């Protein structure tokens, strides 16, 4: 009888710590689904989010879901972050999407892979208010000037903002 009581207490304590450790660190998480699994070169994906905390740093991630129709080992994107005071910061980013053998990186057991890619690490927002992040693909074929009009194999693009646990 005493052993059953101890087991119940240990189970309760373990469950309690599990619940505490699994707290959601996400402050913002949103995806945009691309029609026909193709990201058009003139298609800006826009994420609107509100910042209240201007003290604690946050990690920002761009999330990409791709399938086997994606033909490249990397991905170039251009981001435009607009602050509440209309200041704008533009970044050109490159991410690896496949290893040297051509195997797609990311999580997922099927033909769909999800990549959580760092966009801003330990970012402290200077002012509270509404921010707008615009993301567009900037892919080109090797040796060509013109962009790829329809980048096949990109299913969803997302933005995640996470609190950094201290």
| Residue 6 structure tokens | 């101890």
Could you read off the pLDDT of 102-133 as tens digits, one per residue?
889 999 988 999 999 999 999 999 999 999 99
pLDDT higher for 124 or 10?
124
Of the candidates 126, 66, 56, 52, the one whose C-alpha atom is nearest the C-alpha of residue 95 is 66
Residue 100 pLDDT > 60 = yes
Alpha carbons 116 and 99: distance in angstroms, whole number: 15
Could you read off the pLDDT of 56-65 as tens digits, one per residue?
999 999 999 9
| Residue 12 structure tokens | 């309760």
Delineate the domains of the chain, giving CATH numbers in brackets.
Answer: 25-163 (2.60.120)
Check: pTM over 0.85? Answer yes or no: no
């Amino acid at each position: 009888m005493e052993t059953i009581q101890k087991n119940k207490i240990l189970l309760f304590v373990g469950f309690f710590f599990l619940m505490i450790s699994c707290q959601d660190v996400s402050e913002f998480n949103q995806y945009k689904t691309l029609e026909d699994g193709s990201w058009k070169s003139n298609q800006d994906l826009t994420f609107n989010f509100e910042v209240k905390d201007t003290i604690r740093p946050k990690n920002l991630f761009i999330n990409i879901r791709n399938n086997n129709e994606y033909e490249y080992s990397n991905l170039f994107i251009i981001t435009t972050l607009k602050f509440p005071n209309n200041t704008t910061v533009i970044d050109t980013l490159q991410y690896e999407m496949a290893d040297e053998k051509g195997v797609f990186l990311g999580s997922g057991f099927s033909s769909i892979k999800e990549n959580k890619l760092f966009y801003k690490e330990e970012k402290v927002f200077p002012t509270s208010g509404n921010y707008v992040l615009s993301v567009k693909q900037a892919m080109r074929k090797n040796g060509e000037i013109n962009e790829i009009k329809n980048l096949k194999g990109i299913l969803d693009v997302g933005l995640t903002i996470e609190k950094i646990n201290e």
